[in-house]
Amino acid sequence: MRENLHDVQLRGDYSGVVLVRLILAMLWVGGRRLRHVRFLSRDPMVKRFAGLLAVPDERTLSRWLKQFNQRALGCLRSLNLSLVVDRIRALGLRRLTPDLDGSVVSTGLRVAWAQRGFNPHHRKVPSYYPILAHLAQTGQIIGLKNRPGNVHDGARAEGFARALICDLRRSASPRVKLEFRCDGAFFHGSLLHLLERYRCEYAIKVPMWRWLGVKERIQTRMRWEPVAPGI
């Protein structure tokens, strides 16, 4: 993995370390768009943290970020997974709980691949709808796949979950126990069959869809018993 990262060279007037520190500083103070770098151009603490005498403008940051092709993103994902696995091993975790969820990210009107879809905060604004997974035991992000904003929350979840399972078992341990947690948007047969095939435990919210007949079963049930003693 280190050799692959070494081979990926991102050209620019500033070093990658400096620009990564600058982007981190933007996120920490609440910046969500590249244009927000303008508000940090005279901040001495940001300059000291990033190791800069002068803060680059948003066009410089944009040109640098555009160099992230699929190969560079693959190396970034590998690096992130390596850091998560180091933490898993340090804690001696034998059971891992990936939480799957979708998240709406509003964009500008001319952002590539952004589409209008379900956006509860800005209903007519184009957006991305990335699917992500974070590890419940540590809170770290262990997987992310970007999607246009007009897809369903659980779309492409099978391929995403399959890759996540293979990565964790290959990098952490083939004997690690995985238990997935998802909301009702991920309740569909293809994902359930995948988790069963890979022997993963799961807790997925069951929607009150008519074809499932769940509501009718609840209404006709007269006696209830606890799942386990004490519950």
The pLDDT of residue 181: 95
Name all contacts of 175-180 with Cβ < 8 Å and 24+ positions apart.
175/94, 176/93, 176/94, 176/95, 176/96, 177/94, 177/95, 177/96, 177/201, 178/95, 178/96, 178/97, 178/98, 179/95, 179/96, 179/97, 179/203, 180/97, 180/98, 180/99, 180/100, 180/204
Q: Which residues contact 182 (CB under 8 A, 6 or more apart)?
A: 99, 100, 101, 154, 157, 191, 202, 203, 204, 205
- Tens digit of each residue's pLDDT (9 = 90 or more) over 3-39: 454 455 566 678 888 888 898 898 888 888 888 989 8
| Domain residue ranges of the chain, discontinuous segments joined by + | 1-67, 71-231
**What's the pLDDT score for residue 10?**
61
CATH topology of domain 71-231: Transposase Inhibitor Protein From Tn5; Chain A, domain 1 (3.90.350)
Q: What backbone torsions phi and psi does residue 102 show, to the nearest 5 degrees?
A: -105, 155
What pairing do the DSSP bridges indicate for beta strands 177-182 and 95-96? parallel
Reading the chain (231 residues) residue by residue, the pLDDT tens digits are 444 544 555 666 788 888 888 988 988 888 888 889 898 888 899 889 988 888 888 898 888 888 878 788 888 888 889 999 999 999 999 999 999 998 877 787 777 777 777 777 777 788 888 899 999 999 999 998 888 878 877 777 899 999 999 999 999 888 899 999 999 889 988 999 999 999 999 999 888 888 888 888 888 888 888 876 655
Quick one: pLDDT at residue 5?
Answer: 45
